[in-house]
A and B are shown apart, each in its own frame.
Chain A
């Protein structure tokens, strides 16, 4: 598994991302408050080399933005993203392009992530052309074929177009495209959520094999706790732009600390009712990220909210090695 002593491959320090919904003159006429989406708010995360960090949360929690910001596909509004010790926010366009070789992404919807007008060979070949050092077209052709076979597609797939494939096969093409660049870090943004159950397992198994064979590091984003728990070494639970709990995935499952994590676990439909933890249904809806509640973001739905939760935003507290929770319930329990 991971080597604790070595520096993390990816480190996010105080990363925030806000979207101003006002355009043009409206910036002068309307207040920022209520018109700004707080997608990420002070996120600190580290991913060790070779590790899979799972990020779990519901819609609007900022997990997708987190993946984009981690690759600097979007610029953070505040904070720093370090990849292998390099502050990627400081790179100019040329250096950033060169670094893209090492960090790639697989998207949720394989129908939107493959250009319908480009053949599978063109799609997968771009990574090699840009970063792979494959100079001759014959060499590139051979390597695309090898990559396709590696992700479980026949060579003949090269000449075909995305619409000729099923969702699961398209996701394999998307994975091959990401691999072609030769990355050591892969953001998987809900890679199986759009797929049928029997196909999900194929893709999860493939991602597992590739991680072993290529020594990859994953940031695995999903709304599905069972999937995240299955693939991840560590899990970060997000709620409305903040990380509320991080810890080894076994520990998050067996001893969830944050009331939100507990509710999330309880809400997952189980095959066997006897496995389910005692019911702890959340009431109410997710607050709008346009107007996040003050204090702890979760206090409006938290069954254990207290006075302080409405005012003060809780800082992360270490509960055990690698297990931290941002919740006032534990403010007296810090080691």
Chain B
């Protein structure tokens, strides 16, 4: 019979990549995010000084370009004389690892529950949807502060608390997409072939949701980084002497007028990373969400 229709030889994913590459702001943001990721991974080797070791003689030493600064401590020192650059680099590690861990765990849990709720409907769906509604009703920070107060601070506890609240986000999105997908004839065709529910969920439906899930995950990662910083700022997060952007801001609060760099520089770091993640995920959504593309 005939030759194949001369449709575009690229897959939808490739078309998405093409569109993403054309988006300069998104590509620059991706580069910035990648830069932070490298800092986080290689922190001990990149950081010029030990982030926890202070030299009281260098207390509140200004950045290198200001009077009294020196090149060995380019961003100056904090109230305990610790190198701010080194603490920022190690703080990147904390922020990004918490962000990635929370998003990964929440996405896995949320996607699984969302798939099941959307596909099976019935009592399970009602139960999940109620839990989601209740969790959504809590303000994020108050929920986290309350739980952290009960469980005590610490890296593992932050991740746990944030995951307990965070899984509802991917869950809602995945449930809605699954509700739509289960009405598609290809799902009906899979049932008619005698496929198992597991096959239908993970091989038929999930691949069609992945790009949406990716976009949600990156958007949420930015939010998680802010929330972690807020918790650390309040003293409920990563404990001293370990460096975290939130606690660094808190540390510099009282010297705001005399030594602005102690609080401001970690604030700028948060701003840069969160902004970059948001612009990148916006770009990814535009590129991969067929609904928005002509």
B-side contacts of A301, CB under 8 Å:
none
Within 8 A of B (CB), among A82-97: 96-97
CB pair B5–A166 under 8 Å, yes or no, is yes
Among the 9-residue stretches B83-91, B182-190, B223-231, B253-261, the one with 4 or more Cβ atoms under 8 Å from chain A is B182-190
Name, among B9, B188, B190, the residue most crowded by chain A CB atoms within 10 Å (CB to CB). Answer: B188
Among the 9-residue stretches B51-59, B133-141, B192-200, B267-275, the one with 4 or more Cβ atoms under 8 Å from chain A is B192-200
B71: interface (CB < 8 Å): no
CB pair A117–B207 under 8 Å, yes or no, is yes
* Residue among B1, B186, B196 making CB contact with A112, cutoff 8 Å: B186
* Residue among B7, B185, B190, B207 making CB contact with A163, cutoff 8 Å: B7
How far, in whole Å, are A98 and B196 apart by their CA atoms in the complex? 12
CB pair B126–A73 under 8 Å, yes or no, is no
* Contact flags A149-183 to B (C-beta < 8 A → 1, else 0): 00011101100110111100100001001000100
The distance from the CB of B275 to the nearest CB of chain A, in whole angstroms, is 32
B-side contacts of A73, CB under 8 Å:
188, 191-192
CB pair A126–B193 under 8 Å, yes or no, is yes
* Contact flags B187-217 to A (C-beta < 8 A → 1, else 0): 0111111111000000110011000000000
User: How many residues does chain B have at the interface if contact means C-beta atoms less than 8 Å apart?
Assistant: 27
A71: interface (CB < 8 Å): yes
| Pair count A-B, CB < 8 A | 85
A249: interface (CB < 8 Å): no
How far, in whole Å, are A161 and B11 apart by their CA atoms in the complex? 8
A164 in contact with B185 given A116-B208, A126-B193 (CB within 8 Å): no
How far, in whole Å, are A97 and B200 apart by their CA atoms in the complex? 14
A114: interface (CB < 8 Å): yes
CB pair B194–A100 under 8 Å, yes or no, is yes
How far, in whole Å, are A163 and B184 apart by their CA atoms in the complex? 16
How far, in whole Å, are A165 and B189 apart by their CA atoms in the complex? 19
A77: interface (CB < 8 Å): no
B-side contacts of A164, CB under 8 Å:
4-5, 7-9
CB pair B4–A154 under 8 Å, yes or no, is yes
How far, in whole Å, are A68 and B1 apart by their CA atoms in the complex? 32
How far, in whole Å, are A73 and B188 apart by their CA atoms in the complex? 8
* Nearest A residue (CB) for B126: A24
CB pair A165–B193 under 8 Å, yes or no, is no
B12: interface (CB < 8 Å): yes
The distance from the CB of A127 to the nearest CB of chain B, in whole angstroms, is 6
A160 in contact with B194 given A114-B186, A116-B12 (CB within 8 Å): no
B-side contacts of A260, CB under 8 Å:
none
A-side contacts of B3, CB under 8 Å:
154
* Nearest A residue (CB) for B189: A113
A115: interface (CB < 8 Å): yes
* Nearest A residue (CB) for B121: A23
B-side contacts of A71, CB under 8 Å:
192
A-side contacts of B208, CB under 8 Å:
115-117
Closest 3 CB pairs of A and B: A100-B194, A113-B185, A97-B194
A sample of 14 inter-chain contacts (CB < 8 A) reads A71-B192, A97-B194, A101-B194, A104-B192, A109-B185, A112-B185, A115-B190, A115-B207, A118-B207, A131-B194, A154-B4, A160-B4, A164-B9, A181-B194
